[in-house]
């Protein structure tokens, strides 16, 4: 086949016409192994091209008191406001088509497969997921599991002389989880109440396979789901999730358990520009076209550290 300018233009026009089909197929797909959408509230309201996002945290102060009917010393309430700014960084990944692929699709009168676009979006989501969970020091981001603002506690030794859940009894594992959940509530003077508990994979597996007693059908995990301070106070179920990477996220590479309130007023990840494909094609060679994909995100902001608690050493 002779290749001429008309062939190239026809192939490019065909690719442009196919992009909307590819994108609609790609965005229908949900990836069950992507954790951040269910664990970190995501804010997409900022301008997609904002270099940073500014937000404010508020705290109230003031206390009422008895006063005389003629008194002039009525106390005042006030609001303390702190300003924070989160940088936003752009990332990207795309895919390519050759003229040969496009010509064959045209000849067979079939739509282009969305596989390449799907692979690009999956890679982008995996990248964002890692940033959301563990941050990225190269751009100064911290994640849900390693914020320097969160109180870090060490799991106590059990009867076997070790903090590891692999060496603890059911009662000792229950005490650790209760300490993390109740600690948020008591240390915040009962203001905050954690509704989410994240566990290292090994700890989750151990809790799921250890029965409370030989006569009981309850495992440690099922018992925690039914008997925890959040459920007792609200009547709502506690979210318990195993998270890859927590097995070494703690101090000294130990396992880290996380208890926190999953609320955008407590923790938030700014994503002014969710992953998207750029409509303009980019020729990377005489017979190859590149479809760029870009996204812009900030790190995870823990706005109310009192609603968080890390416990290290359980794995």
pLDDT in tens, the chain (315 residues): 445 555 667 777 888 888 888 888 888 888 888 999 999 999 999 899 999 887 666 556 677 887 887 777 888 887 666 677 788 999 999 999 888 888 888 887 778 888 899 999 999 999 999 999 999 999 999 999 999 989 999 999 999 999 999 999 999 999 999 999 999 999 888 989 999 999 999 999 999 999 998 777 899 999 999 999 999 999 999 999 999 999 999 999 999 999 999 999 999 999 999 999 987 777 888 888 899 999 999 989 998 889 999 999 999
Domain shared by 184 and 307, yes or no: yes
* Whether residue 133 is found in the same domain as residue 277: yes
Residues 51 and 180 in one domain: no
Are 232 and 308 found together in one domain? yes
Q: Count CB-CB contacts under 10 A for residue 202.
A: 17
Judge if 10 and 51 occupy the same domain.
yes
Q: Are residues 196 and 290 in the same domain?
A: no
Q: How far apart are CA 102 and CA 99, in angstroms?
A: 5
CATH number at 241 reads 3.30.2320.10
Q: By residue range, what is the domain housing residue 287?
A: 5-55+85-143+267-301
Do 99 and 232 lie in a common domain? no
Indicate if 97 and 180 belong to the same structural domain: no
Q: What is the largest CA-CA distance in the chain?
A: 100
- DSSP reduced 3-state for 51: coil
Asked if 271 and 189 sit in the same domain, the reply is: no
Q: Are the C-beta atoms of residues 287 and 294 closer than 8 Å to each other?
A: no
Number of compact structural domains in the chain = 2
**CATH at residue 93:** 3.30.2400.30
Report if residue 108 sits inside a domain. Answer: yes
Q: Nearest-CA neighbor of 245 among 39, 17, 78, 6? A: 39
Beta bridge partners of 270: 43
**139 and 181 together in one domain:** no
Return the DSSP state at 219.
B
Q: Which is it for strands 89-92 and 293-297: parallel, antiparallel or unpaired?
A: antiparallel
Same domain, 252 and 168: yes
CA atoms of 119 and 275, how far apart (whole Å): 13
């Amino acid at each position: 086949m002779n290749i001429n300018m008309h062939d190239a233009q026809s192939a490019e026009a065909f690719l442009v016409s196919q992009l909307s089909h590819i994108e609609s197929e790609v965005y229908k797909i949900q990836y069950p192994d992507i954790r951040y959408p269910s664990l970190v509230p995501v804010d997409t309201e900022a301008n997609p091209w904002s270099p940073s996002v500014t937000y404010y945290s508020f705290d109230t102060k003031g206390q009422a008191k008895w006063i005389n009917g003629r008194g002039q010393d009525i106390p005042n309430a006030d609001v303390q406001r702190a300003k924070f700014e989160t940088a936003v960084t752009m990332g990207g990944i795309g895919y390519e088509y050759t003229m040969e692929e496009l010509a064959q699709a045209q000849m067979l009168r079939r739509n282009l497969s969305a596989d390449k676009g799907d692979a690009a979006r999956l890679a982008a989501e995996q990248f964002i997921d890692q940033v959301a969970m563990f941050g990225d020091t190269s751009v100064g981001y911290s994640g849900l599991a390693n914020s320097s603002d969160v109180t870090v506690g060490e799991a106590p030794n059990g009867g076997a002389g070790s903090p590891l859940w692999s060496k603890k009894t059911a009662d000792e594992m229950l005490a650790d989880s209760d300490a993390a959940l109740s600690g948020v509530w008591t240390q915040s003077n009962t203001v905050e109440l954690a509704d989410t508990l994240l566990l290292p994979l090994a700890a989750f597996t151990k809790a799921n396979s250890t029965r409370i007693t030989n006569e009981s059908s309850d495992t440690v995990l099922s018992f925690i789901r039914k008997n925890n301070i959040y459920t007792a106070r609200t009547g709502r179920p506690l979210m318990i999730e195993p998270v890859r990477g927590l097995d070494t996220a703690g101090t000294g590479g130990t396992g880290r358990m996380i208890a926190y309130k999953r609320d955008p007023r407590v923790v938030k990840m700014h994503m002014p520009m969710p992953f998207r494909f750029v409509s303009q094609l980019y020729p990377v060679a005489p017979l190859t076209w590149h479809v760029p994909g870009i996204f812009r995100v900030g790190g995870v902001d823990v706005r109310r550290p009192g609603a968080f608690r890390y416990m290290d050493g359980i794995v």
